[in-house]
Structure 1
Amino acid sequence: MSAFLKKLLLTGVLLGSTLAAQAAGPLKVAVTDLAYEERVQEYFRSIKASEKSSLRASGRESERESDYSYSRRSSGSLSARSESSFSYEEGTYSYIERGELRKFTADIKGEMLKSGYFQVVQAKPYTAKNTEKLYDVIARIKQGMYPGADYVLFGSINSIEFRQEANPIDHTDTVSHTLSLELVAEFSLISTKNYQVKAAFSAMGEGQDVKLMSSRGGRIVLNRGKVVSEVSKSLGQDVIKQLEEQLAALSGDSLPVRESVIQQERSREEVIIFR
């Protein structure tokens, strides 16, 4: 089957329409920023001290004099009161933090455009203060956050982890310094018309920077930007690969999965040796 007919068949699977409708063009898809949810713990310490005091004094004096006598009387009182309090409290409290990561979606959009099956529609960012509704994609569709889109590709992060390691190489005076990042996210392709999920999968992005340096010392700077770029590219490639495979399975055909030149380049590790 030609690539053109396969493209039409893929479009028909999603739209459930005739071949005439398939010729209308690529599917319009809005790609959301990657949502995340994590539990945050914070340490707190509270010290409260207060003191209150009062002083009250009173006095009375009387004097009496006549032709035959003289008298003088005086009296007084003094009262004092003092109160103090002190409290100390420390511990940790936790809360759920939700939001959207404004990274790692550009290469997903790029891979979708290169496939020729999709037209990317700009989605509105989630700006509401009530983050509990972040994962309610249907409510966001109804609010018009994806104007003109036939489908929404919603992604949420499962795991994201940076690692930095230094490992001596046996029988040498060289140390291998590595900075790596691994990101795993879940994706769902959701129809804006009937809210059905047409595809669902997990995708991974990986990247690393490796430099070798003499154990005699020196300052090593690992390229964080390179690592993030590799993660973004590999995530985009994994997303489009699984998206094509799932949609092809629905059509009962086998769409050609494009070999990634970038993926092959990533397998060739770039090493810089500092002496």
Structure 2
Amino acid sequence: MKQTMKREFLLAFLALSSACLTPYVWAQNPPKVAVTDLAYTRAVSQYFEAGTYSEKASLNANRNSVTASYSGSGTYVAGKYSYLEQRELRSFTNDIKGQLIQGTTFRLVQGKGFDAGDPQPTKAEQALQQLQTGKMAQPVRQPEVNDIIARIKKGEFSGADYVLFGQLSSIEFRDQLTPIQGTSSSSHQFLLDLLADFSLINTKTLEIKAAFSAQGNGNDTKLLSARGDLVPPNRAKVMRETSQSLSRSVYEQLAAQMGMDAPMSQRLRPAQSGVTVPAGQAQPAAAEQVLILR
């Protein structure tokens, strides 16, 4: 009984010591971290046509007879082809890198972009080849953007001790026009909501050191003087706010899971109930009123 309690105490002590020493060790020997662009997969459909056709005709006529001949052949294939496109969203990660540089001792290294492999022949080209040669083209296996283990072993993040891998889960633009009761004005909101999953992976052991979901959002609100009037939204502002809020969420959760500087995480939160926004960070924007003169 005493040996069991002693062993459990020793394991608990080692776990606590490891958690406490991690920030210190990382401060003395900062790890190199590569931040990937957000990976995504989407379904794509395309219409295709393929066909071959040859035709011959002849006509011979004289006073006594008329001779005609005709020969023709043709094949035709058409349809709709669906496949999954794998890419990286080259936005929304620069602010994450900035937060890591500002709030941690990590050294950031630039990894290679995702290599999607050689372009595949289109479905129309595959069907045409089959019609002409009688052989079906075998599709070539393409690299997978979500196979981060294969990408690490391939050397896309050479020199990095850790990879912060992000996968896009959901991205949605919303356009809302809301009449304001008792007035002839209306509120026009353009919003962007983004959700992504992140994993911090050790490139040597392939161990997952942290895993979490992070959300970012931004909006552009305008007050219109008359219902029915529309003003183009400021898309750049919305995307910038989304990127900044996503980076704050990523940093806070990474700091909590890795036992990093908690006060820094508090200082990076947006202003609410008396909390001060750090210098250099944009204050929350108020609704912009747009007057349309007639």
TM-score by length of 1: 0.75
Are positions 1:40 and 2:44 aligned together? yes
CA deviation map 1:85-114 (0-9, x unaligned) = 999987643210111111111111111112
Residue 273 (structure 1) aligns with: 289
CA–CA distance in structure 2, aligned partners of residues 180 and 220 of structure 1: 14
CA–CA distance in structure 2, aligned partners of residues 154 and 263 of structure 1: 29
Are positions 1:54 and 2:57 aligned together? yes
Counterpart residue type for residue 260 of structure 1: L
CA–CA distance in structure 1, aligned partners of residues 254 and 36 of structure 2: 15
Are residues 84 and 174 of structure 1, via their aligned partners in 2, closer, same or farther at CA, if it must alter by over 3 Å?
farther
SS in structure 2 at match of 1:132 = coil
SS in structure 1 at match of 2:206 = coil
SS in structure 1 at match of 2:267 = coil
Give the root-mean-square deviation of aligned CA atoms: 3.4
**Contact 1:53–1:80 (Cα < 8 Å) also in 2:** no
Offset at residue 148 of structure 1 (A): 2.2
Pairing 1:1-275 to 2, within 5 Å after superposition = 12-13=21-22, 22=26, 24-42=28-46, 44=47, 52=55, 54-57=57-60, 76-81=64-69, 92-129=80-117, 131-215=142-226, 218-248=229-259, 255-256=262-263, 257-260=265-268, 262=270, 264=272, 268-275=284-291
Offset at residue 149 of structure 1 (A): 1.4
Counterpart residue type for residue 54 of structure 1: A
Aligned residues: 243
Offset at residue 133 of structure 1 (A): 2.8
Are residues 22 and 47 of structure 1, via their aligned partners in 2, closer, same or farther at CA, if it must alter by over 3 Å?
closer
| Higher share in strand | 1
SS in structure 1 at match of 2:222 = strand
SS in structure 1 at match of 2:87 = strand
SS in structure 1 at match of 2:91 = coil
Offset at residue 76 of structure 1 (A): 4.0
Identical-pair percentage: 40
Are residues 9 and 165 of structure 1, via their aligned partners in 2, closer, same or farther at CA, if it must alter by over 3 Å?
same
CA–CA distance in structure 2, aligned partners of residues 48 and 118 of structure 1: 58
**Contact 1:32–1:123 (Cα < 8 Å) also in 2:** yes
Unaligned runs of at least 5 residues, structure 1: 1-7, 60-74
Counterpart residue type for residue 267 of structure 2: E
SS in structure 1 at match of 2:231 = coil
SS in structure 2 at match of 1:155 = strand
Offset at residue 125 of structure 1 (A): 1.3
State the structure with more CA Rg: 1
Counterpart residue type for residue 96 of structure 2: I
SS in structure 1 at match of 2:237 = helix
Are residues 254 and 273 of structure 1, via their aligned partners in 2, closer, same or farther at CA, if it must alter by over 3 Å?
closer
CA–CA distance in structure 2, aligned partners of residues 149 and 83 of structure 1: 67
Unaligned runs of at least 5 residues, structure 2: 1-16, 119-141
CA deviation map 1:7-48 (0-9, x unaligned) = x9768448xxxx6x5553322111011111011234x37597
Residue 66 (structure 1) aligns with: none
**Contact 2:169–2:195 (Cα < 8 Å) also in 1:** yes
